[in-house]
């Protein structure tokens, strides 16, 4: 099997590349290295340093004609999307449309698209299911929701096969505190530098934290399953930011300072995804606990 991973030098994409190569796949990577790193690229993969918006990215897809494309390259910083929505839409929407069109020309068998819980916005009925209507409160969430609509329309008009995976809050080794960094990566970076952990607002906001290896396994499962489906990839468990800080306090010594500040625009108070569909369609379930995942991430980032 020949696979192409956009954003394959990044956090999730590099882990996915490793697993694909371990399974015997030929892997090509398209990454502009704006947030990704050459150090994360598996030496068995072919790295093409090019922006997803550049015509060369489309030419690579049309030349290599991969069997499956994992589209992970994106602008994922919620706050940047709010301050610069034009850039967010250029990377996420325009880049995705160009990629789909290139895949159509190349006869790609399937595109697996990395989406986000941010498409749901504020949770009103507990855990969001895939039937919950999108109601994003950030331009990032809106751009991802728009991309999803493009996939569905491309299928209706051109027969493009796809699976959309909506991730909850992914964390793990190789995640940076810049660009694609979630709160876990930011906290790990601060712990390494001996800085206090900053909590926006009350700290009672909930997140559904999922370990990166679980996300990778969901992508692998989607190669042969979940055609034309939209599927949540999550633990289905809520963890408050305050509880996250508590767990990190159990892992890290000595104790650290916690500083509270104002809430940020675009932040969601309660985000948790139902994962029953993933288990039913992909035969996938997350493994391990948040505490164990945090320990592994800590050992990679801090305890070295």
Q: Which of 96, 111, 106, 245 is nearest to 184 (CA)?
A: 245
**pLDDT of the residue at 263:** 85
Q: Residues spanned by CATH 3.40.50.720 within the chain?
A: 2-170+209-235+274-282
Give CATH 3.90.25.10 domain extents, the chain. Answer: 176-206+238-273+289-301
Residues 139-178: pLDDT tens digits?
999 999 999 999 999 999 999 999 999 999 999 999 987 6
Write the CATH number of the domain with boundaries 2-170+209-235+274-282.
Answer: 3.40.50.720
The pTM of the full predicted model, rounded to 2 decimals, is 0.94
How far, in Å, CA of 117 to CA of 273, rounded?
7
Q: Which residues are catalytic?
A: 140
Averaged over successive runs of 10 residues, the pLDDT of the chain (304 residues) comes to 98 98 98 95 98 97 98 92 96 98 98 96 83 94 98 97 97 81 90 94 93 98 98 96 96 92 80 96 95 96 69
CATH topology of domain 176-206+238-273+289-301: UDP-galactose 4-epimerase; domain 1 (3.90.25)
Dist CA 92 CA 151 (whole Å): 13
């Amino acid at each position: 099997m020949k696979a192409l991973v956009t954003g394959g030098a990044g956090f999730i994409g590099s882990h996915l590349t490793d697993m694909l190569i371990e399974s015997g796949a030929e892997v090509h990577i398209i990454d502009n290295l704006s947030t990704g790193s050459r150090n994360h690229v598996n030496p068995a993969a072919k790295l093409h340093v090019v922006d997803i918006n550049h015509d060369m990215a489309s030419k690579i897809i049309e030349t290599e004609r991969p069997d499956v494309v994992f589209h992970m390259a994106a602008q994922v910083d919620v706050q940047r999307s709010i301050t610069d929505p034009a850039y967010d839409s250029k990377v996420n929407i325009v880049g995705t449309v160009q990629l789909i069109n290139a895949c159509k020309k190349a006869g790609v068998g399937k595109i697996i698209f990395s989406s986000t819980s941010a498409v749901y916005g504020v949770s009103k009925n507990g855990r969001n299911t895939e039937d919950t209507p999108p109601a994003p409160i950030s331009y990032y969430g809106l751009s991802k929701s728009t991309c999803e609509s493009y996939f569905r329309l491309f299928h209706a008009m051109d027969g493009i096969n796809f699976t959309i995976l909506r991730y909850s809050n992914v964390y793990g080794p190789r995640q940076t505190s810049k660009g694609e960094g979630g709160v876990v990566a930011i906290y790990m970076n601060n712990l390494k530098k001996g800085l206090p952990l900053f909590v926006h607002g009350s700290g009672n906001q909930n997140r559904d934290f999922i370990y990166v290896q679980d996300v990778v396994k969901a992508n692998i499962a989607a190669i042969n399953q979940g055609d034309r489906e939209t599927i949540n990839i999550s633990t289905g468990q809520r963890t408050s930011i305050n509880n996250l800080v508590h767990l990190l306090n159990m892992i890290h010594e000595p104790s650290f300072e916690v500083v509270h500040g104002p809430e940020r625009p675009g932040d969601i108070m309660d985000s948790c995804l139902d994962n029953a569909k993933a288990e039913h369609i992909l035969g996938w379930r997350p493994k391990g606990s948040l505490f164990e995942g945090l320990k592994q991430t800590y050992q990679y980032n801090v305890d070295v």
